[in-house]
Structure 1
Amino acid sequence: MAANDSAVYKINDRVILVQVFVAIFLFINLLLLTTFFMKDFFYTTMRYMLFAITLLSDSLFLLMTDILLILSYFRFNIQTWLCLILYIVLSLYTYVTLVTLTTMTLERYVAICMPLRHAELCSTRSALHCILIIHSLSSVPCTVVLSIFFASATNSFYTQGRVCSGEIFIFHTWQGYLRSTIGQFYFLIMFITIVFSYAKILKVAKAASGEDKKSTWKGLRTVVLHAFQLLLCLIQLWCPFIEAAVLQINVVLYINVRYFNYITFTLAPRCLSPLIYGLRDEKFFHALKSYALCGLYKKQPSDLRKLTN
């Protein structure tokens, strides 16, 4: 019994640690979003608009996964119809982040490899169209899985109390394989897109000189960070299969693996967005620095030029 109590105590410590991490990242995202809406340059520029979409998507995803983590920890049952709504939102915004990251990579490709067409292809109007397309593409996996679920579920199933999990909507083994296949297809398309963009930007970077070379290599590093972030997010799609296999071996090991997966493949990649654009981007960083210090930070003339150029 003592061993079980010790295990529960450790899990409880972990849950508290997750709450601290989630609270910190939500605060940072809120600060970044506030900065985004404080200057019209940001919400009329495509890359910052896409950045804001990732912040909103990641914030909603972190908040909802944290709520489900707490409900699961306390074994709190909710009716299936409510779990269904949560699952739809989570499934949608899992892919919104992935597709948006890929779109941001393409935007960097256009900016560096096709600079003369960047203003035309990456206008505010194009950004709004991209956001609509991103959400449409992101809804496809959820729509496919739930179409099969709706065809199989009975009316009484929606009012049953259950611990909320995406697995309760999988009635057949082949459904899980289908969901995995869709995820791998998205992974393949995104991987090809990022490798293509990286190769083209690398070619331009080698041929560039002076300030252009510096800017190009910075864009190349951004693509690499996007690729790393995307890889972590995509590994999350494999986690349910890994956890299901581990559960057959040992329950305590399953708990440890699930916690590791949540921290590494759910929390960590969604905390990279503020680093990639919030802190590495000079214009956004100086605006953030100004607003975070409530005007106490006095802009130098060079800073003013960075915010207006």
Structure 2
Amino acid sequence: MQNQTEFPGNATSLKNLSMIIKVCVVIPFFCVFLCCIIVMLHIFASHRQFLDTSRYILFAYMLINDTLQLLSSVLLFLFAMGQVKFAIIYCVPLLFISTATFQNTPLILATMSLERYVAIFYPLQRPAAWRSDRIWIIILSLWLISCIYPIIDYSIGAHNPAVDVLSTPVLCKTIVVSSSPIQTLFKVTVSVLFFVVVAFIILFTYVRILLETRKLGQDRVSVSKAMHTVLLHGFQLLLCMLAFTSPITENLIVLHANWLQQDVAFFNYFCFMLIPRFLSPLIYGFRDQSLRGYIGRIFLCCSNKVKPRVRGKLQDNVSTS
């Protein structure tokens, strides 16, 4: 009887330990990402030349979008780990931000590729919407397109009469507001359409810039840089598409490993949601020579500020001894 009563306690302690480990992995990971994003946004806000360039404005917009996406997903993860329940009316805004920002990322990548295309083929007669003082029109259009998707998704869903939107506490998960078959079909169709269109735009701009590189002999360096930038956008799109491989990896893990369902879900979330969103903006930011130089100066200044303090403490210890 004693051994039988110890099993539930052991299972509970293992479950709590697993939950603590997952939280301790996700939170520092997100904090490092947030610090890097704050540094890059500080560089944008402190130097006028970045605010006068459409490419950097779009990149700053992507940084803000990915930060909102990761922040909302981490909050949803923490609520799921803590089994926190609240009314659907408070859950929907968080799910809305997470879904809209997730769909917004491939649109931003396509727009950044088109911006490089416009910069190469129309350097002197750039269309008004692509100038730095008008680029906000394109950004607003991208945000509106991304917001339409969750609005339609939540509108076509069937409401459960047993659940009161204002008072019934539920776990804040996507399945709460989008669980019907028609919503699943709508999400798959829109996601495939989004990524096919974005992949076509990136491939089209890459091929056109590649052909232009063979024609131009005078400005071959800048055209080659633009071609590499578009190729990087294609890699970023592949990172975003990793999120849609979670059903495949989940089935493979279940077949070849004896994992719990929550462990499989955490593995997919960490490897195919967090890490790609973490790497995508950082790879692009640290690749840029101008940004990399300013980032290096910031960290160098921080290290120089720490070193005099350490030296001062050492000198005080020597004088007192």
Shorter-chain TM-score bucket reads 0.7 to 0.9
Report the 3-state secondary structure (helix = DSSP H, G, I; strand = E; otherwise coil) of the residue aligned with 1:116.
coil
Distance in 1 of aligned mates of 2:124 and 2:171: 54
Which of 85-94 and 25-34 deviates more? 85-94
Structure 2 partner of 1:54:
62
Distance in 2 of aligned mates of 1:167 and 1:251: 25
Structure 1 partner of 2:21:
13
Change (3 A) 1:219 1:259: farther
Q: 1:216 aligns with which of 223, 229, 237?
A: 223
Q: 1:28 aligns with which of 21, 36, 44?
A: 36
Q: 1:144 aligns with which of 149, 152, 158?
A: 152
Identity %: 29
Distance in 2 of aligned mates of 1:171 and 1:274: 31
Unaligned segments of structure 1, at least 5 residues = 298-309
Which of 201-210 and 35-44 deviates more? 201-210
Whether the aligned pair in 1 keeps the contact of 2:120 and 2:223 (CA below 8 Å) is yes
Distance in 2 of aligned mates of 1:78 and 1:31: 35
Structure 1 partner of 2:274:
267
Which of 18-27 and 41-50 deviates more? 41-50
Structure 1 partner of 2:288:
281
Length-normalised TM-score, structure 1: 0.83
Unaligned segments of structure 2, at least 5 residues = 1-6, 305-321
Distance in 2 of aligned mates of 1:269 and 1:126: 30
Matches within 5 A, 1:176-191: 176-191=184-199
How far is 1:161 from its partner?
Answer: 0.9
Which of 107-116 and 62-71 deviates more? 107-116
Report the 3-state secondary structure (helix = DSSP H, G, I; strand = E; otherwise coil) of the residue aligned with 2:172.
coil
Structure 1 partner of 2:234:
227
Whether the aligned pair in 2 keeps the contact of 1:232 and 1:269 (CA below 8 Å) is yes
Whether the aligned pair in 2 keeps the contact of 1:230 and 1:269 (CA below 8 Å) is no
Distance in 2 of aligned mates of 1:80 and 1:247: 32
Whether the aligned pair in 1 keeps the contact of 2:109 and 2:237 (CA below 8 Å) is yes
Deviations 1:265-304 (A, max 9, x none): 222222234434422222222233334444999xxxxxxx
Distance in 1 of aligned mates of 2:154 and 2:245: 19
Number of residue equivalences:
294
